[in-house]
A = this chain, B = another copy of it.
Amino acid sequence: MPEFLKVKTAEEVLALMESFAPLDEETVPLEEAAGRVVSRTVTAPSDVPHFRRAVMDGYAVRARDTFGASESLPALLQVAGEVFMGKPAGMAVGPGQAVVVPTGGAVPEGADAVVMVEYTQEAGDRTIEVTRPVAPGDNILEKGDDIARESPLFPTGWPLRSQDVGVLAAVGLHRVPVYRLPRVAILSTGDEIVAPETNPVPIGKIRDINTFVLAAQVREAGGIPGMRRVVADDIEILAAACRKALTDHDVVLLSGGSSVGVRDYTVQVLERLDGAELLVHGVAIRPGKPTILARVGSKIIWGLPGQPASAMIVFTAFVRPSLLRLQGADPARVPKTHTCRAVLRRHMPSVHGRADYLRVRLQRHESTVWADPVFGASAMISTLSQADGYVIVPEHVEGYEAGTEVTVHLFGLRDLTA
């Protein structure tokens, strides 16, 4: 296929994500399960409760012994004993008998209901009066009533939340099968780039920004940042660094310097990698046009723009969804990007004929979330921290007027959404 046919729309790039298989399976202890995605249907290995449990404080009784009981004609029952919390009942309830049970206590054999303590009164000499009848099953949770053994708990692709970990604990699943997390190498290329601790920075050089921002974004998307390196603008050195990264990472993020020609540069690097297949060679959005997506076997290489603001946008729009996909998350359960609605405070101009991804800053005032466009070149570092996310102005729309309600794609989960 000629390279120019590989310029894609944003929708086409997102559709390509479906072709990535989730990573392999591993088993993690319950303490580490939150945030992970279940890799096979999880079923309950045991009943909850696994014994007949009282759901009220009161007396375990035979329901028939209370039939017809009322305030004026209470049923008289003999208290045969008491069940203690956390202990087996250790006795049975016979006809005309009652046994004291706490909420959550084991219901003794023979009993088929629990009378709430509110509907009883002591009548002396280990005798109680029951002033209301109970039906069989009242105030009792039977074995498996809450969760039945063998019942499905979570389907494949389910991202486990804090509350789901509680359900796993309840049924005794202290280890759980999940998809492995993607390990991500982050390479920043550019002869002009030096490490942030370099001081003073020689004239002509600038400090590396992208490996830090991208590593933080990778972590927030559930990935594990691994190798992080600044590599000189030398195709052979860069290809060698990519080869090394591919040995023990699932994804390689390559972000170019601010120089031109980065796109072709990345393509030349790909040509030097055995089995690399170019999937996307440019995306019809701005910024983000030079974005590259390639596959090497089951591994993924992304080429991102060098300007930090542009790299962040491309990460949020495409790399984050791809990382969620590798984690096996069911797309119906995980939003492709994290969004919120906001009202534009100012006019947002856009050029007809391309999809513009324009950065905004969010501010809540009473019940309205306002979005202010962040102006200034994407090369300006100071604008980087002014934006909370971006608004997409589609190809055939010439900007939005002030007051328009828009969808904001948030850079991070920690940004203002509530």
CB atoms of A411 and B162 under 8 A apart? yes
Cα distance A260–B55 in the bound complex, in angstroms: 12
Q: How far apart are A149's CB and chain B's nearest CB, in angstroms? A: 12
Tell me, rounded to whole Å, the shortest Cβ–Cβ distance linking A147 to chain B. Answer: 5
Contacting B at CB under 8 A, from A369-392, are: 377, 379-382, 384-385, 387-388
Across-interface contacts of A85 in B (CB, < 8 A)? 190-192, 204, 233, 257, 259
Whether B161 contacts A212 by the Cβ 8 Å rule is no
> What B residues does A195 contact at CB under 8 A?
174
How far, in whole Å, are A89 and B202 apart by their CA atoms in the complex? 11
CA distance A50 to B49 in the complex (A): 67
**Using Cβ atoms and an 8 Å threshold, which residues of chain B touch A259?**
85, 102-104
Contact present for A31 and B382 (CB under 8 Å): no
Pick out which of these stretches binds chain B: A63-71, A74-82, A164-172, A236-244. A164-172
Residues of the B chain whose Cβ atoms lie less than 8 Å from the Cβ of A146? 380-382
Q: Does any Cβ of B come within 8 Å of A250's Cβ?
A: no
From A118-126, A216-224, A350-358, give the one contacting chain B.
A216-224
Q: List 29 A-B contacts (CB under 8 A).
A: A31-B212, A46-B200, A50-B201, A55-B379, A57-B260, A83-B204, A84-B191, A85-B259, A86-B192, A102-B259, A104-B259, A104-B379, A106-B203, A154-B385, A162-B217, A163-B312, A165-B213, A166-B308, A166-B381, A166-B384, A168-B196, A168-B212, A169-B209, A170-B207, A170-B381, A171-B207, A172-B201, A340-B417, A340-B418
Interface 9-residue window, one of A17-25, A266-274, A331-339: A331-339
Taking a contact as CB atoms under 8 Å apart, the answer to whether A161 and B196 are in contact is no
The answer, yes or no, to whether A258 is at the interface (CB within 8 Å) is yes
Q: Do B337 and A257 have beta carbons less than 8 Å apart?
A: no
Across the interface, do A384 and B55 meet the contact criterion of CB distance under 8 Å? Answer: no
* Given A216-B162, A259-B85, A418-B338, residue A198 in contact with residue B169 (CB < 8 A): no
Known: A85-B257, A258-B103, A377-B55. A161 touches B415 (CB 8 A): yes
A197 with B213: CB separation less than 8 A: no
